[in-house]
């Protein structure tokens, strides 16, 4: 085992920006990726898989810039078992203080059939590509994709080949979420016992959640000797997602009595990054999701409340503040001043310069005028409202008035400022949101298709703010827009326009894009 992974230390490898982001619909913009990467770096993630550089010009640029900005984390890029992929990956990650190349090939019978390689030919390919990566970078991770459905003897053979060729981390992916805890542990144990050189490298576990066992499978692998867990924030990822970072970190923390392993993660930063990932990906967190769901710390039944009042430990195995969840309390009202706002925002993890505070204070006052009580969650929604920081947007919402009635159609009067010019229209639709979206379409013609429309109340009460996410697709490019407002239709309109603005930026950049490839396109 290398000195990066001690016996009782588990490395956290976050792949939100690669495996998470490659899941259909979870596309993040360049700026959002940089922001998430910075948050991951600050929370103590050991390795950030920042993207798949060969996939597109956009991915390449994001990985390069994340590599340049990273302070502590190792920055890793993904590459198929192909020299061009590996070279492109190195070009992007080489700017990091601590770069890593992650290269992989599918080794199960089903995956071997795709590039049509015999077992022996694949071994040669693995040897050559890992050696090539190692000549570029002294930190190389190798993965046999679909390892959990690969024959044991062949898996030992390919892992040994990769170690001999210079891999420093061997990742064992459960690509289709097929394994179960006991089997996951046995596989790691089998490899450690049988593969020559296994004690020189770090074994990693990479689980998908198709059967709801990703976290359990990852922890079982750790107990068997894996010392790197691959995971994503909120369990974001294709199909049922990947292992959730917050679940692994908190399980190791809360049940350290039976799983005596440490991570470097500052768990108090979990809530903030969970909210941000949900907002930029457009994938809302389910209410009863472990650790980060809205109900994870809510004790609503009578018995629970009584027990909680007597002794919080009766029903609580961890404290809300351990994951960065401040008690939901009344924070500010319309008479609160700037200093109180600054202090509260600091508590919530937002440090603002004077000019930023000035702007946020104006928006806070407007909100407090419409809403008697301003809670922590309201301030978080206010801070993550993407439509308020949009000087460069080509389209801006200037005014909206909607007429509703029991008998439709509903009517929306909308004025947008498009490239600096005000334009107005009245449109009808089946409901206020449909009428509003039709008005946007009438003013700014586009072919983008609405893929998802999601509304959530930030707090309780009829004066609660609504946060709205809108996902739109145009020629294979996806953008997620979001906005918050006490008026659901206004929030919807702004979120729609926000997504359109992002698509316009992607459209402008598309000129330079190479064809986008997925890590599943085997060459």
Is residue 154 a contact point for ligand KIV (CB under 6 A)?
A: no
Pick 242 or 483: Cβ nearer Zn ion: 242
Buried b (16+ CB within 10 A) or exposed e, 38-59: bbbbbbbbbbbbbbbbbbbebb
Instruction: Tell me which residue has tokens 């502590």.
Output: 72
* Other Cβ atoms within 10 Å of 358 Cβ, number: 11
Q: Which does 77 bind (CB under 5 to 8 A by kind): ligand KIV, Zn ion, none?
A: none
CA–CA distances in Å: residue 261 to residues 92, 131, 145, 323, 404: 33, 32, 26, 18, 58
CB of 238 to ligand KIV, least distance (A): 8
13 close to 49: Cβ distance less than 8 angstroms: yes
Stretch that binds ligand KIV, among 25-33, 168-176, 271-279, 452-460 (CB under 6 A): 168-176
Q: Closest CB to ligand KIV among 171 and 469?
A: 171
With binding defined as CB under 6 A, does residue 178 bind ligand KIV?
Answer: no
Nearer to ligand KIV, 143 or 410 (CB): 143
For 359, the token pair is 């702007």
Q: What is the C-alpha separation between 469 and 278, in angstroms, rounded? A: 10
With contact defined as beta carbons under 8 Å apart, do 502 and 446 qualify? no
> CA torsion 331→336→338→339, rounded to 10°?
-70
One of 5, 145, 291, 433 touching ligand KIV (CB under 6 A): 145
Distance CA 144, CA 373 (A): 54
Please identify, using beta-carbon distances, which residue of 70 and 209 lies nearer to Zn ion: 209
Question: Which 8-state DSSP code applies to residue 295?
Answer: T
78 to 117: interface string for ligand KIV, x by CB under 6 A: --------------------------x-------------
Q: Of 104 and 297, which CB lies nearer to ligand KIV in the complex structure?
A: 104
The residue within the footprint of ligand KIV, chosen from 143, 148, 161, 498 (CB under 6 A), is 143
Give min distance, CB of 471 to ligand KIV, in A. Answer: 22
* Contacting residue, 58, 77, 166, 173, with ligand KIV by CB under 6 A: 173
Q: Does residue 21 touch Zn ion according to CB under 5 A? A: no
Residue 173 or 235 with smaller CB distance to ligand KIV: 173
**Size (the chain), residues:** 523
- Nearer to Zn ion by Cβ, of 19 and 385: the residue is 19
Tell whether residue 519 is a contact of ligand KIV (CB under 6 A). Answer: yes
Within 10 A of 227 (CB to CB), how many other CB atoms are there?
Answer: 24
Render 300-341 in DSSP notation, one character per residue: -SHHHHHHHHH-GGGT-SS-GGGGT-----EEE-TT--HHHH
Give the residue, chosen from 14, 19, 49, 174, that forms a contact with Zn ion under the rule CB under 5 A. Answer: 19
Q: Which of 175, 205, 274, 467 binds ligand KIV (CB under 6 A)?
A: 175
Contact positions toward ligand KIV, by CB under 6 A?
Answer: 19, 104, 143, 145, 171, 173, 175, 206, 208, 519
């Amino acid at each position: 085992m290398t000195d990066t992974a001690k016996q009782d230390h588990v490395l956290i490898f976050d792949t939100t920006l690669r495996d998470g982001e490659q899941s259909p619909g979870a596309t993040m913009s360049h700026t959002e990726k940089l922001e998430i990467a910075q948050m991951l770096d600050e929370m103590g993630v050991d390795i950030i898989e920042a993207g798949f550089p060969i996939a597109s010009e956009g991915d390449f640029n994001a990985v390069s810039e994340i590599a340049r900005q990273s302070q502590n984390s190792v920055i890793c890029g993904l590459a198929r078992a192909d020299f061009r992929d590996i070279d492109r990956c190195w070009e992007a990650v080489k700017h990091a203080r601590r770069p890593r190349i992650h290269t992989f090939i599918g080794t199960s019978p089903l995956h071997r059939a795709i590039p049509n390689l015999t077992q022996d030919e694949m071994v040669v390919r693995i040897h050559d590509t890992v050696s090539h990566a190692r000549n570029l970078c002294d930190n190389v991770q190798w993965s046999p994709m679909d390892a959990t459905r690969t024959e044991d003897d062949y898996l030992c053979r390919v892992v040994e080949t990769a170690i001999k060729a210079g891999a420093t981390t061997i990742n064992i992916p459960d690509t289709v979420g097929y394994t179960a805890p006991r089997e996951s542990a046995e596989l790691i144990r089998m490899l450690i016992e049988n593969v020559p050189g296994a004690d020189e490298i770090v074994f990693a576990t990479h689980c998908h959640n198709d059967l709801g066992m990703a976290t359990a499978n990852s922890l079982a692998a750790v107990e068997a000797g894996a010392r790197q867990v691959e995971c994503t924030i909120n369990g974001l990822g294709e199909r049922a997602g990947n292992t959730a970072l917050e679940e692994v970190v908190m399980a190791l923390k809360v049940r350290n009595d039976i799983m005596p392993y440490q991570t470097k993660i500052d768990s108090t930063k979990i809530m903030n990054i969970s909210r941000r990932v949900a907002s930029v990906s457009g994938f809302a967190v389910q209410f009863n999701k472990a650790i980060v769901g809205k109900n994870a710390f809510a004790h609503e039944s009578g018995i629970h409340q009584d027990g909680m009042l007597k002794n919080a430990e009766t029903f609580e195995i961890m404290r809300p503040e351990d994951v960065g969840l401040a008690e939901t309390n009344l924070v500010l009202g319309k008479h609160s001043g700037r200093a109180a706002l600054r202090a509260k925002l600091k508590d919530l993890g937002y440090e603002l310069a004077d000019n930023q505070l000035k702007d946020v204070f104006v928006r806070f006052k407007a909100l407090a005028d419409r809403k008697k009580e301003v809670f922590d969650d309201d301030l978080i929604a206010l801070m993550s409202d993407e439509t308020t920081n949009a000087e460069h947007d080509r389209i801006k919402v200037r005014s909206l008035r909607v007429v509703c009635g029991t008998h439709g159609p509903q009517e929306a009067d909308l004025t947008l400022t498009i490239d600096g010019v005000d334009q107005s229209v009245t449109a009808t639709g089946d409901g206020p949101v449909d009428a509003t979206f039709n008005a946007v379409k009438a003013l700014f013609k586009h072919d983008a298709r609405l893929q998802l429309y999601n509304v959530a109340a930030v707090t309780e009460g009829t004066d609660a703010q609504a946060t709205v996410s809108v996902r739109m697709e145009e020629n294979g490019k996806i953008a997620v827009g979001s906005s918050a407002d006490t008026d659901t239709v206004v929030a919807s309109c702004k979120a729609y326009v926000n997504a359109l603005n992002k698509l316009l930026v992607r459209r402008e950049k598309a000129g330079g894009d190479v064809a986008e490839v997925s890590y599943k396109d085997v060459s």
